[in-house]
Chains A and B, each alone.
Chain A
Amino acid sequence: MTARTLFEKLWTSHLVRELGGDTALIAIDRVFLHERTGSVALKSLSESNRTIVDPARVFCTMDHIVDTRPGRGDDTVLPGGKAFITETRAAAEAARIRLFDVRDPLQGIVHVISPELGIVLPGATVVCPDSHTCTQGALGAFAWGIGSTEAEHALATGTLRVKKPKAMRVRFEGELPPTVTAKDLSIALIARFGSVGGNGYAVEFAGAAVEALDIEGRLTLCNMATEFSAVTGFIAPDHKTLEYLKGRPYAPRGADWARAADAWLALRSDPGAVFDREIVIDVSNLGPMVTWGTSPQHAVPVSGCVPAESESGASPESYQRALAYMGLSSGIPMYDLEVGAAFIGSCTNSRVSDLRRAAEVLRGRRVAPGVRAICVPGSMSVKRAAEAEGLDQIFKDAGFEWRESGCSMCFFAGGESFGAKQRVISSTNRNFESRQGPETRTHIASPETVAASAVLGRIAGVDQLPAQARAS
């Protein structure tokens, strides 16, 4: 038998029929919806008198515009947002799908709760009308973002018509320096190969440095595959994956678990499998990364400078536009950039290990005067776990707001923002123009870099923090 890639195995195990060309009808195992884009899919489905073919395999959450301030209800900071909440609730109830509602103890960001509840499984196909669905590939699933019309199709037929992507493998080899996180790997990849480097591909992340990542780090790495323009990113399941999933509420049990576990461990690219493209990155000389511009590919090491146009990898138009928007010029050290705000949260970096690492930086320290700092746990389960460890107190003592879970200020929906021209260091995934508010200047980094920058009031790596800065 010819050697096959993991992607080929995921593809063929869901192949219902070929549709001609490179397109096939692919079976969909799990559909997740949220109130921002799922609501319209449910509404449109019902208006066309169609029903969900298997409601037990469809899930919905309130994460995108739900308020994250303490004591929240259905009202949103976004004007008119309440209708998205109430209409989603009514539609989910009518469709008899499991809704993680505003007050549900399991509510959270779709790509945080799907893994933590064991809804996404290795070898499964998972779709959601949300671009960061690729996050869930970290468990060895074929998970990708779609539009609302495609979501309707998946709900009504249990399938999607999919053009087969090409197969890419990105191998992160070598030993990860202790200050370098999964977030830094993803930013480094996009900085080097561009924000369209993955266009047309399903990307398998592999190599010693990926195997060494815990599951939450793998979720962060796969999360950014969409910023690489890839259809999805995924990682072969291993014993860490099994250990992570076992006993989770929706994970298989008993005899099903034993059978599934065996099948999942066989989900890996065969030796000698041929990829359409392969990239190898040596991680041993990487450092913490931060973005300087308005695309995730506009990134340098935290210890670096705003690059010259010729070094930036950006087109002249894109480079000049980014500099003007960000209020920067070529050659400025990233360390010199003062920040007015710090944000820790989002489907990229809001899990308990992310908060733990940031809290370790913040313990006994305070954010610099004038810096608005906010931490938003990715799910209510993450929030409870963090509070049980006392992490909330560390954040609050350091001067961070401690919020209810949701997407919050990762993007601007018309409610809260950091303000025009405000420079924000953020653990999120997009530094696009106005992403976090009109004219807001976003710099993306890991949670620990965000924490260190918040303390020093300027962009900084953890290694920049003087030991004497500790208050106790």
Chain B
Amino acid sequence: MTEPVRQLFAVAAPLIRANVDTDAIIPSREMKTVSKTGLADGLFAGWRYTTIGGRDPEPSFVLNQAPYAQTQILLGGENFGCGSSREHAVWALHEFGIRSVIAPSFAPIFFGNCIRNGIVPVRLAAEAVQRIASWVVIDPPVHRVRVDVDALCVEAGEGMRWTFELDPESREMLLEGLDAIDLTLKSKADIDAFLERDRIERPWIYRLPEHA
């Protein structure tokens, strides 16, 4: 069960680089235990700190700058979240306080991981993301960005409003914070019926040799 997310009105930080991969979001070396938590410190570690494994903040990195202290929205570049499937990237973002990423495109696994963890992935044209960024940087704490999952729109000050697309299932997941397993188990009768048919249709899928 994740917390529902309906509407955000928050500080947005521009990190507009193409192909920000999940290893940049949470380096493998920062995944220290078999856990979904304890990851926020490792978020963007390679960019955020001055040394590998160190914790001295790199002043030029956007999330280390005072006006971006309350950032909940990231403005990203093309192919955001590419690379490794590690959900730790999304867990780290969420633990840090990020609730939405606005970018021209997302890697598919990262996109799905966002939906399942209460982070709103918003696809907007590169020019729109750039316009939001240009407006935000003028005064980040005041120039807050609105992300509305109900209305599927983004607002950034006067006259800057864009709608975005999200499939109904993903929207519902975010709005309700639903546990997908519980939801699916409501279809157990359908699953059982499928299996009954399929065991006849494709017996080799189910009749595995004794474990080799």
Give A225 Cβ to nearest chain B Cβ, in Å. Answer: 11
Partner of B108, one of A79, A231, A249: A231
Q: Is A229 within 8 A of B32, CB to CB?
A: no
Give B90 Cβ to nearest chain A Cβ, in Å. Answer: 7
Q: Is B28 within 8 A of A84, CB to CB?
A: no
Q: Known contacts being A22-B167, A57-B208, A250-B212, is A153 close to B109, with CB within 8 Å?
A: no
Q: Known contacts being A229-B108, A314-B18, is A259 close to B194, with CB within 8 Å?
A: no
Q: Is A145 within 8 A of B109, CB to CB?
A: yes
Q: Is B29 within 8 A of A78, CB to CB?
A: yes
Give B101 Cβ to nearest chain A Cβ, in Å. Answer: 15
Q: Is B85 within 8 A of A37, CB to CB?
A: yes
Interface string of A52-87 (1 = CB under 8 A from B): 001011000000000000000000001110011001
Partner of A159, one of B17, B84, B105, B191: B191
Q: Confirm or deny: A379 has a beta carbon within 8 angstroms of a beta carbon on chain B.
A: no
A294 CA to B35 CA in the complex, in Å? Answer: 30
Q: Known contacts being A146-B112, A158-B191, A161-B184, is A315 close to B24, with CB within 8 Å?
A: no
Partner of A152, one of B86, B181, B195: B181
List of B residues within 8 angstroms of A87 by Cβ: 34
Q: Confirm or deny: B139 has a beta carbon within 8 angstroms of a beta carbon on chain A.
A: no
Q: Confirm or deny: B41 has a beta carbon within 8 angstroms of a beta carbon on chain A.
A: no
Size bracket of the A interface: 35 or more
List of B residues within 8 angstroms of A150 by Cβ: 112-113, 116
Q: Known contacts being A161-B169, A229-B79, is A129 close to B87, with CB within 8 Å?
A: yes
Q: Confirm or deny: A395 has a beta carbon within 8 angstroms of a beta carbon on chain B.
A: no
Q: Taking each of B79, B181, B185, which has the highest tally of chain A beta carbons within 10 Å of its own beta carbon?
A: B181
List of B residues within 8 angstroms of A414 by Cβ: 27-29, 53
List of B residues within 8 angstroms of A231 by Cβ: 108
Q: Is A98 within 8 A of B169, CB to CB?
A: no
Q: Can you name 19 A-B pairs with beta carbons within 8 Å?
A: A19-B169, A22-B167, A23-B168, A25-B184, A36-B28, A36-B31, A56-B211, A98-B212, A130-B84, A131-B84, A131-B109, A147-B112, A152-B181, A153-B180, A163-B167, A163-B169, A229-B107, A315-B77, A414-B29
